[in-house]
A and B are shown apart, each in its own frame.
Chain A
Amino acid sequence: MAFHGQGRKANAALRLSGFLLGLLLAAFEGLALVQARAAPVAATANVSAVILAPDPVVSVVDTLPAGVNASTGTVVVHVATTSAQASKGPDPVNASEPAAVAAVMLSTKAGDGTLRDGGLTVAVTAAPRRTASHASGSPDTVNVLVEFN
């Protein structure tokens, strides 16, 4: 009889511990599911920039002539050398020209496209580039021609 009672107790203990383990397992499964769904993840990227020397830089500001439509007109900027001021074209400057100083146009920057006081402000930035034929120590001069169409 006593042996029978001990068996029952053992059986009940087994069932209780099984129940508790089942609860633990369910909690574990639920936690894993929640983690798999909600965990935010992150990544890191590099960011870079290069600032070139602003000198020597020539800045020219001109205004749009009256009668030119600022919204449809175009602005063509030529960077010319001292001896090739009259040359025309989208890129009249190159080192092979018989110029003492060539120049590379860095950027053109128009305004916001609206007329201001009858004109459109255009800023041009260019940097002189010394050629081999140009004597070192001489002043570098860049003529910037702004053509309005």
Chain B
Amino acid sequence: MNLSLHLACRGWACLCLRILCGLAAASCCAHAAAQNVSNTGNLSFGTFVATSAGTVAVRADGSRGQSGGAFVLNQGSNTAAPAQFAVHGKANTVYAVTLPADNTVLMSDGAGHSMAVKSFTSNLSGTSILSKNGNGQFSVGATLVVGASQARGSYTGTFSVIVNYQ
């Protein structure tokens, strides 16, 4: 009987040890594979003149386009730029980016006027892979829809991207 209890206690000791090791390992792995994405640069359509309805596009590579009555300007402190994001996670992890749907992002001047943002694009084609150090980055561009009588002023808004690890 003493032997049986002794063996049972040894079993419990092993189980406790395993639990401790498991928790430690889980904590360790969770730290090593901590996955996150952070915004490192904001999307700016820059400065432009709107004489009638049109669009202003900032592509993921930083180039800018215009159509209709929108005339982009290379002046002012609000320089056009795509948004930049940094991705972190486990080395060599495959990930994909989900961008906002068309016209779900609005920019407002705070005075009741707004513009819709559509056609979000990133410089990633499909999926990408984190580096050996677990780092990655991508940029996001979009197209701004300017109304026919769009009020002048400064417009701001926010948008979110989702990184799905696979």
Contacts and interface: CB of A to CB of B under 8 A. Distances in A.
Interface range for A: 35 or more
Given A45-B158, A47-B156, A52 B44 contact: no
Interface string A102-114: 0000110100000
Contact of A45 (B4, B36, B51, B83): B83
Given A4-B1, A25-B22, A59-B51, A50 B76 contact: yes
A43 B45 contact: no
Contact of A18 (B12, B153, B154, B156): B12
B53 interface: no
Interface in B16-65: 18-19, 22, 25-26, 29-30, 33, 35-39, 41-51, 56
B135 interface: no
10 contacts: A28-B26, A36-B33, A43-B36, A45-B42, A45-B158, A45-B159, A47-B117, A51-B151, A52-B73, A106-B49
4 closest A-B pairs by CB: A49-B45, A107-B71, A46-B42, A7-B1
